[in-house]
Amino acid sequence: NAGVTQTPKFRVLKTGQSMTLLCAQDMNHEYMYWYRQDPGMGLRLIHYSVGEGTTAKGEVPDGYNVSRLKKQNFLLGLESAAPSQTSVYFCASSFKGWTYNSPLHFGNGTRLTVT
Amino acid sequence: GENVEQHPSTLSVQEGDSAVIKCTYSDSASNYFPWYKQELGKRPQLIIDIRSNVGEKKDQRIAVTLNKTAKHFSLHITETQPEDSAVYFCAASKGEYGNKLVFGAGTILRVKS
């Protein structure tokens, strides 16, 4: 039982390049999320999904796209990377939504640097 | 929307002392308040959470208190140990579909031995 697995762990991009971050969970969770973590700003929600085939915008969705074609996978895409997207990205999943007895299970994070 | 403010941003305590981290929230309809701990270079993990129908919850050395009237909640860690050193995040939500969890900016706790 691996929990939530993110790939890659590190990535360096040049401005304008594109990339996809992959998140996989093996807990049969319905909900999946992408957060970014920046110093002094906590965890900010980028996009989330409440089930296979669904996606929704979070607090900071601009410049990102997501897809959830399979229940266990949630992909985060950057079409044209910008230096402002330099951050640590965390994927998370939960059994239900943001509620009691449904804690978020986070992956180990991806450190992305855009030069 | 919900706004969560967390204080202090950094906290240094001597091993064995207590540590208190405070958060305030803006939406009076919020009813779910979790705390996450993130050790250096690791993933955030839930350490304790509370619902609005409970004023206090305790789990060994950690406790959370909630004051709904004042819209603030606090994390209390007693008998701190070096392994308590981490970043702590509070969060709040209405606990229902579509009502997102909003995190505070985090508190860096350093326990000096």
* Cβ pairs bridging A and B (under 8 Å): 56
Distance, in Å, from the CA atom of A13 to the CA atom of A86, rounded to the nearest integer, reads 9
With CA atoms as reference, report the closest residue to A33 among B62, B44, B37.
B44
Residue contact B6–A109, C-beta within 8 A: no
Q: Which of B2, B27, B40, B43 to mutate to test the interface with A (most CBs of A within 10 A)?
A: B43
Q: Quick one: pLDDT at residue B28?
A: 92
Among A41, A97, A104, select the one facing B105 at the smallest CB separation.
A41
Q: Given pLDDT bands bounded at 50, 70 and 90, which one contains residue B96?
A: low
Q: Given pLDDT bands bounded at 50, 70 and 90, which one contains residue B98?
A: low
Shortest distance, CA B32 to any CA of chain A (angstroms): 6
SS percent in chain A: helix, strand, coil, step 5: 5, 50, 50
Region A14-38 average pLDDT:
96
Distance, in Å, from the CA atom of B76 to the CA atom of B70, rounded to the nearest integer, reads 18
Q: Given pLDDT bands bounded at 50, 70 and 90, which one contains residue A41?
A: confident
Residue B22 predicted with pLDDT over 80 = yes
Q: Touching check for B100 and chain A: CB below 8 Å?
A: yes
A58-92 tens-digit pLDDT = 999 999 999 999 999 999 999 999 999 999 999 99
